[in-house]
Structure 1
């Protein structure tokens, strides 16, 4: 069976295009306890990257990297032009953004998303804001890379329902739309043989689900 998939390509062409959700929190700690902690994974790890990819994409049909070997994952994420930025909620990875710098001064946000249990908790806006800000200053931070001239990404109708709104709120502009027929694939789940987990996170002072 095939499905119709719409893909939207979005871009920013100036650092001034970014409309941040909240002040960035790419620090070693968040002393006030508010908002997600967002840090770069400075030691590339195929294992950690696969965990993030499989966990974020478990219910939105991210499958293109699931069959990669460890060596292929290493080649994908351990290159100098790739950065992984991770959002943590009280010490637990909640989502991530993978950036890839091109030789022409463009930086692509290759992957972006939140683990299902952390969606709707005010993390996506700050994470995207930080990822875009770090894409714009990548050439300043990293020796051997040109100044960033453009930040771009694509999303599609298989992604979460709030993805496009988040991108537009952060200042991205639509520049191309494509529609194609694709083979329908099963929702992969967080690991082989498992389906998406209907778990919830209990907040301090809030009754657990079902209580």
Structure 2
């Protein structure tokens, strides 16, 4: 009897005011375990960056899916993230027979049976691996935005609503990578705020 392939799914970047959400799905290879996995938020940036290529080279399958600000604004952050999770699972080859998804909700329209695991990124290795890939990819992308959108500090705050980011947003106004449906950005776009 063949073992069911189980994918772990997690995301990075639901809370920021700018940039995409990165969603990763990973099927780990039981014959090639990746040592040192953990919750990406608890690992140093250097550790995550060392683990990401190991995960990619040793996993049976992995896929990174981007959920862009226009989709987030159109669907809302929850539904856009869920759609990204479903797409990430569908893109895996080989296809998983089951999925473990970090959090307390499951996307609709999944290609396989799934279970939501609260704090799964601290409990389940496949979710830990997905969490690391998503976080590393998103952080890299936000650092690149520093060059195309100077002055916002994306390399430092990664789009999160820090005092520095909110100050830059007030000074420079929203740019094309900001999520227009998020309150601090939406308020600045309101025509009633003209000086």
Specify which structure has the bigger relative contact order, considering alpha-carbon pairs within 8 angstroms and separated by 6 or more residues: 1
TM-score where L is the length of structure 1: 0.31
Which structure: greater helix fraction?
Answer: 2
Which structure: greater strand fraction?
Answer: 1
TM-score where L is the length of structure 2: 0.33
